[in-house]
Chain A
Amino acid sequence: MTNQTSDVLDVTDLRTYFPVRSRGLIPRTIGAVKAVDGVSLSLDAGETLGLVGESGSGKTTAARSILMLVRPTGGSVKIDGEEITDLSARKLMPIRRKAQMIFQDPYNALNPRHTVGAIITAPFKVQKVVPPGGVKKGVLELMERVGLNPEHYNRYPNEFSGGQRQRIGIARAIALRPKLIVCDEPVSALDVSIQAQILNLLRDLQKEFGIAYLFVAHDLAVVRQISHRVAVMYLGKIMETAPRELIYSRPLHPYTHSLLSAVPVPDPKRQAHRKSRIVLHGDLPSPIDPPSGCVFRTRCFQAQERCAVEVPPLVELAPGHHVACHFPIAVEDLPARAEVQALTADDPQEATPDVQIVSREEAADGAAGAAGKGRGAQEEALDEGGAAEEGVSLNKPRA
Chain B
Amino acid sequence: MTATSEEPLSGMPIVGSADRPFLSVNDLHVTFPTEDGLVQAVDGVSLSVERGKTLAIVGESGSGKSVTAQAIMGLVNRKSATVTGEIWLDGQELINLPQREVQELMGMEIAMIFQDPMSSLHPFYRIGDQIVEAIRAHRSIGKAAARRETLEMLQHVGIPAAERRIDAYPHQLSGGMRQRVMIAMALINSPQLLIADEPTTALDVTVQAQILELIARLQGEFGTTVILITHDLGIVADVADDVAVMYGGRIVELASTTTLYDLPEMPYTLGLLSSVPRMDQKLPERLDPIRGNPPSPIRLPKGCVFQPRCDYWQRVPGEACLTVRPDLLESDPDHWVRCHLKVEERKQIARDVKQILAGGGE
Contact = CB atoms under 8 A, between A and B. Distances in A.
Contact of B277 (A193, A224, A270, A352): A224
Contacts of B273: 266
Interface stretch (A89-97, A275-283, A325-333): A275-283
B31 interface: no
Contacts of A164: 293
Contacts of B174: 283-284, 351-352
A195 B362 CA distance: 21
Interface in A260-286: 260, 262-271, 277, 279-284
B342 to A, nearest CB: 25
B101 interface: no
Interface string B270-298: 01110111111001001111110110000
A161 B293 CA distance: 8
Interface of A: 54-55, 161-164, 191-197, 199-200, 203, 218-222, 224-225, 245, 248, 258-260, 262-271, 277, 279-284, 344-346, 350-352, 354, 356, 359-360
Nearest to A161: B293
> How many residues of B sit at the interface, in one of the four size bands?
35 or more
A268 B208 contact: no
Interface in B274-327: 275-280, 283, 286-291, 293-294
A163 B275 CA distance: 14
Given A269-B258, A271-B237, A191 B61 contact: yes
Nearest to A192: B275
Nearest to A218: B204
B165 to A, nearest CB: 8
Contact of A191 (B60, B161, B238): B60
B235 interface: yes
Contacts of A267: 237, 261, 278, 280
A193 B60 contact: yes
Nearest to A190: B61
B54 interface: no
Interface string B139-182: 00000000000000000000011000000100111111100000
Nearest to A195: B275
Contacts of A279: 209-210, 213
A264 B275 contact: no
Given A192-B231, A221-B279, A268-B257, A282 B160 contact: yes
Interface string B212-237: 11000000000000000001111111
A194 B206 contact: no
Contacts, number: 147
B18 interface: no
Contacts of A277: 209
A232 B116 CA distance: 27
B249 to A, nearest CB: 16
Contacts of B283: 224-225
Given A192-B231, A352-B173, 13 more contacts: A54-B207, A161-B293, A191-B60, A191-B61, A196-B289, A203-B286, A225-B283, A262-B206, A264-B232, A264-B237, A279-B209, A279-B210, A345-B161
B261 A268 contact: yes
B279 A263 contact: yes
A197 B209 CA distance: 28
Contacts of B277: 196, 199, 219, 221-222, 224-225
B205 interface: yes
A191 B272 CA distance: 10
B205 A218 contact: yes
A193 B171 contact: no
A221 B283 CA distance: 10
B208 A266 contact: no
A21 B278 CA distance: 43
Given A193-B60, A266-B233, A346-B160, A248 B177 contact: no
A265 B261 contact: no
Contacts of B294: 161, 191
Given A193-B272, A195-B275, A259 B206 contact: yes
Given A220-B205, A225-B287, A262-B206, A193 B275 contact: yes
